[in-house]
Amino acid sequence: MIISMEYLEDQFDLPDFDLKQYSPLTLAYLGDAVYEIVIRTVLVRRKNAPANKLHHQASALVKAEKQAEIAEKIGPLLTEEESSVLRRGRNAKSHTKAKNASVADYRMATGLETLTGYLYLQGKTERIVDLIKAGLGEEL
């Protein structure tokens, strides 16, 4: 399980915060890590394999193209608030550019990562997992 927000707040005496004040790109920064830990955890728990093999499997699922595909698939499942967060992330002006993805895929992937970071900071880890599972279907 991803570390609970309550536990982190307690252990590190984290201050109260207003989630709406966070930049979409800051949320995407966190969401990227959360998304990857979910993917890696599932892969490792499903099969004890060499790290290189796991890395290749994970890479195929965390690349911008796949994340954009997931974002499109889960769109109808999102609440109005979640859709708004994803849209904010997608439309954020990033100073980095896609290495191996189209600009459209990169921006949509950033939207998914923004939503993931937003949900994580709300402590909604089950919602994150449900959305990733719905977006990947049988692929994971």
Residue 1 has pLDDT above 70, yes or no: no
Instruction: For residue range 7-52, list pLDDT tens digits in order.
Output: 988 999 999 889 989 999 999 999 999 999 999 999 999 999 999 9
SS3 96: coil
Q: Are 89 and 114 in contact (CB under 8 A)?
A: yes
Domains annotated on the chain, with CATH: 5-10+20-137 (1.10.1520.10)
53 or 2, which is more confident: 53
Q: Which pLDDT belongs to residue 118?
A: 97
- Residues marked active site are found at 32
| Segment 66-86, tens digit of pLDDT | 999 999 999 999 999 999 999
Q: Are 109 and 91 in contact (CB under 8 A)?
A: no
Higher pLDDT among residues 75 and 101, named by residue: 75
Query: pTM of the predicted model, to two decimals?
Result: 0.93
How far are the Cα atoms of 38, 53, 64, 128, 136 from residue 43, in angstroms, in the given order?
Answer: 9, 10, 19, 17, 13
User: In this structure, what DSSP letter does residue 13 have?
Assistant: T
